[in-house]
Amino acid sequence: MAATHARPGRRPASASDQRTVMECRDLTVHFDTPNGRISAVNGISFDLQRGECLGIVGESGSGKSQTFLAILGLLASNGHASGSVKLHGEEILNVSRRRLDAIRGEKLAIVFQDSITGLTPHKRIGEQLSEVLTQHRGLGRGAARAKVLEMLELVRIPEAEKRYRMYPHEFSGGMRQRVMVAQALLCQPDVLIADEPTTALDVTVQAQILKLFKGLADHTNTALVMITHDLGVVAGLCDEVMVMYGGRVVEHAPVDELFYAPRHPYTRGLLACMPRADRDSEELTAIPGQPPDLEALPPGCAFAPRCPYAFGRCELERPILETAQPGHLKACHLEELP
Amino acid sequence: MFSFVSRRLAVALPTLLVVIAGSFFLMRAAPGGPFDADAQLEPEVIENLRAAYDLDKPVTEQFMLYMARLLRGDFGPSITYADYTVTELLAIGLPVSVKLGLTAIVVALLFGCLMGIISALNRNRWIDYVTMSIAMTGFAVPAFVVAPVLTLVFGLYLKLLPISGWNDGALQNMVLPVIALALPQIAILSRLTRGSMLEVMRQNYIRTARAKGLPEYKVVAGHALKAVSLPLVSYLGPAIAGIMTGSVIIEQIFGLPGMGRYFIQGALNRDYPLVMGTVIVYATAIILLNLLADVIYGYLDPRVRRE
């Protein structure tokens, strides 16, 4: 356990540390289904610092989104979370709805992947945004409106006055996503979670949205969590990266170290999958095999069936997340990657 | 909005024309005539009567004559109720049917939505099963069974309510017919509401609303209800049609002097102008109310409005 508590990064953290915004310890999420129990997240721990950007990388089903939905109390009704999540030292996991409502949108905000279905279709954009301020700040209509217009301009929505009165379907995909970002930023949250915010957008728009996040990470104290499967996004934006596989963290390291000296075969596989223009290869690389079945996770390492370096021990004993070198955690039986 | 309504009205006119022509010729194609019941009349008398109502002319000419009269706003004389014009009979029957139908619709919407929302919020608990079983029964048992059972229990055994008659629309006379008329609609509306509510609460934008820190009542009232009501508004057209046709039977069972009563009397006696009059009023009402439902839908869903 000690190993998972050690925080990688520039300096050690503790609950008393003023820079630490959020501490997540041993977070576990499972879903009860008619076919049995599915464990989506298994004992995840991490800290978030003010102004830091943490990247969460993994395939679909690796538990990266469910981790943060659990923290926000937004799991599906058959989902259950356990462990501990503290925001400024105060427990926020499995607290009352009233308590959650005070935190969500105010201290803890999220930008979802799908802006098409993520905004209420029959409500004007202005109303959807200003209700965040009336709810949390008790602002009147006029004051909320002024603040919303200011925020819409900040995220570069042209003709904000006019757009304020429009409906989501009258916006383009990129503009809708910017509205989602504006909505999340209205109360200047301590933690902003971006759940694959650029996946549904085309490349040029992606770049604009990422620039928006980049500016945010550089100029505010908001801790940013960037959930993505795009390592390119991570490289350009994040300070640290957490790689997830089968509901567990397999590697956690500062971004440069992860890219230049990955310690887990899965991370290396992911890096190899990135198409590169500077290399003269004809084919795209892929990690062979399928993501693990969460209903029946193997007793050993979940990645072992797909791992090119797996040996006997990997299938029998699950590797724990341990410090490979200061600030760099990995969960692999191999001391060094061959 | 104005162009939408006027375009829809332009389409409604040919529809109405088809309905008029269809029922006119179908009525004439049915065997029998208006004077068959009066067996004791002399053949010459019948000839004279037929001539008086233009029934001796070819059917197409009769149709032309009828249409010409209709364009002047005249529904013609009733044959059975010899002292009345059809317009006068409709003026007696329409208010009764409208009052009955509107009350039934309001009752159906009220109870249907309430039952559906309660069911959805208590999904898969006993209250959900009880409500949905009631709804299923209400849907499966036809009005002509429900109505006599209601009269039997509340009218004859318990002697709480009158078994028939209109009594100028007094409350105690309305209760049983309204229940019998609304019951199938309550059943359908509650199932629709339940399904719609469950569907909407699964949407991503509901999750977004919760993530903003809105309390649940604001999430439901501000972000869900409009979307929940959309399928209900779509069903409003068919529901109105169902209540109107149901009304024909219910008025007969409870002996209410509404349009449905005149329609059945007219059809049985081959009172051609009376049947045509009621059909035209029914068709116009259904077309207009469907249009109203579409306008409401457009108001609720901004994505439809612009198209």
Percent pLDDT > 90 in chain A is: 56
Higher-confidence residue of B276 and A287: namely B276
Tell me the chain A residues in contact with residue B207 when contact means C-beta distances shorter than 8 Å: 74, 112, 118
What's the pLDDT band for B291 if we cut at 50, 70, 90? Answer: confident
B235 Cβ partners below 8 Å, 6+ apart?
B188, B189, B192
Subunit contact B227:A74, Cβ cutoff 8 A: no
CA A192 to CA A186: how far, in whole Å?
11
Coil, strand, or helix at residue A33?
Answer: strand
CA B213 to CA A61: how far, in whole Å?
26
Tell me the chain A residues in contact with residue B215 when contact means C-beta distances shorter than 8 Å: 97-98, 101
Coil, strand, or helix at residue B207?
Answer: helix
A186 Cβ partners below 8 Å, 6+ apart?
A105, A129, A132, A133, A147, A148, A151
Strand order in the sheet with A79-87: A36-49, A20-33, A79-87, A90-91
pLDDT of res. A283: 64
What pLDDT, in 10s, does the model give residues A161-187?
Answer: 999 999 999 998 888 988 999 999 899
pLDDT at B150 over 70: yes
Residue to mutate among A66, A101, A122, A177, with most B CBs inside 10 A, is A122
From the list A74, A119, A136, which residue is nearest B205 (CB)? A119
What is the distance in angstroms between the Cα of A118 and the nearest Cα belonging to chain B? 4
Within a domain: B105? yes
What is the distance in angstroms between the Cα of B264 and the nearest Cα belonging to chain A? 45
Average predicted confidence (pLDDT) for chain B = 88
Q: Which residue has the tokens 């650029």?
A: A198
CB atoms within 10 A of CB A274: 14
Tell me the mean pLDDT in the region B24-37. 85
Subunit contact A119:B208, Cβ cutoff 8 A: yes
From the list A101, A110, A114, which residue is nearest B214 (CB)? A101
Within a domain: B281? no
ipTM attached to this prediction:
0.88
Chain A residue with the nearest C-alpha to that of B224: A120
What's the pLDDT band for B24 if we cut at 50, 70, 90? Answer: very high
From the list B204, B209, B218, which residue is nearest A114 (CB)? B204
pLDDT at B18 over 90: yes
Subunit contact A169:B303, Cβ cutoff 8 A: yes
pLDDT of res. A17: 56
Q: Which residue has the tokens 């290869």?
A: A281
Amino acid at A147: K
pLDDT at A4 over 70: no
pLDDT of res. B181: 92
Strands (DSSP E) contained in A171-327 are 191-195, 223-228, 240-245, 248-254, 322-325
Chain A residue with the nearest C-alpha to that of B221: A123
CA B26 to CA B259: how far, in whole Å?
20
pLDDT of res. A10: 43
pLDDT at A105 over 80: yes
Within a domain: B132? yes
At A47, which helix (H) or strand (E)? strand A36-49
Percent pLDDT > 70 in chain A is: 92
Average predicted confidence (pLDDT) for chain A = 87
pLDDT of res. B103: 94
What pLDDT, in 10s, does the model give residues A116-139?
Answer: 789 999 999 999 999 999 999 999
From the list B211, B216, B222, which residue is nearest A104 (CB)? B211
Tell me the mean pLDDT in the region B170-177. 89
Among candidate residues B70, B29, B33, B28, the one with its CA nearest the CA of residue B281: B70
pLDDT of res. A101: 95
pLDDT at B196 over 90: yes
Tell me the mean pLDDT in the region A51-61. 90
pLDDT of res. B56: 86
Subunit contact A121:B205, Cβ cutoff 8 A: yes
pLDDT of res. A5: 45
Length of chain A: 338
What pLDDT, in 10s, does the model give residues B68-95?
Answer: 999 998 998 988 888 889 999 999 999 9
Residue to mutate among B199, B201, B208, B229, with most A CBs inside 10 A, is B208
CA A111 to CA B48: how far, in whole Å?
84
**Alpha-carbon distances of A211 from A216, A218, A234, B238, rounded to whole Å:** 8, 10, 13, 52
CATH number (domain holding residue B250): 1.10.3720.10
In this predicted structure, which of A158-162, A209-213, B23-27, B177-181 has the lowest mean pLDDT?
A209-213
Within a domain: B220? yes
Chain A residue with the nearest C-alpha to that of B306: A170
Tell me the chain A residues in contact with residue B208 when contact means C-beta distances shorter than 8 Å: 112, 118-120, 180
pLDDT at A252 over 80: yes
pLDDT at A82 over 80: yes
pLDDT of res. A1: 38
Among candidate residues A66, A206, A122, the one with its CA nearest the CA of residue B209: A122
Half-sphere exposure of B104 toward its Cβ, with a 13 Å CA cutoff?
A: 30
Q: What dihedral do alpha carbons B57, B59, B62, B63 form, nearest 10°?
A: -170
pLDDT at B167 over 90: no
Tell me the chain A residues in contact with residue B210 when contact means C-beta distances shorter than 8 Å: 74, 104
Within a domain: B278? no
Chain A residue with the nearest C-alpha to that of B202: A76
From the list A118, A135, A169, which residue is nearest B208 (CB)? A118
In this predicted structure, which of A3-17, A86-100, A134-148, B211-225 has the lowest mean pLDDT?
A3-17
Within a domain: B130? yes
What pLDDT, in 10s, does the model give residues B34-46?
Answer: 887 766 778 888 8
Tell me the mean pLDDT in the region B256-265. 90
CA B183 to CA B163: how far, in whole Å?
18
How many domains does one find in chain B? 1
pLDDT of res. A279: 62
Subunit contact B212:A105, Cβ cutoff 8 A: yes
Domain span at residue B255 reads 96-259
What's the pLDDT band for A277 if we cut at 50, 70, 90? Answer: low
Tell me the mean pLDDT in the region A199-227. 83
pLDDT of res. A241: 95
Tell me the chain B residues in contact with residue A131 when contact means C-beta distances shorter than 8 Å: 212, 214, 218, 222
CA B188 to CA B195: how far, in whole Å?
11
Q: Note whether A173 and A117 are within 8 A (CB).
A: no
Subunit contact A121:B209, Cβ cutoff 8 A: no
CA B280 to CA B266: how far, in whole Å?
14
Q: Which residue has the tokens 């899965």?
A: A266
Subunit contact B213:A104, Cβ cutoff 8 A: yes
Within a domain: B227? yes
Within a domain: B213? yes
CA B146 to CA B108: how far, in whole Å?
16
pLDDT of res. B43: 82
pLDDT at A217 over 80: no
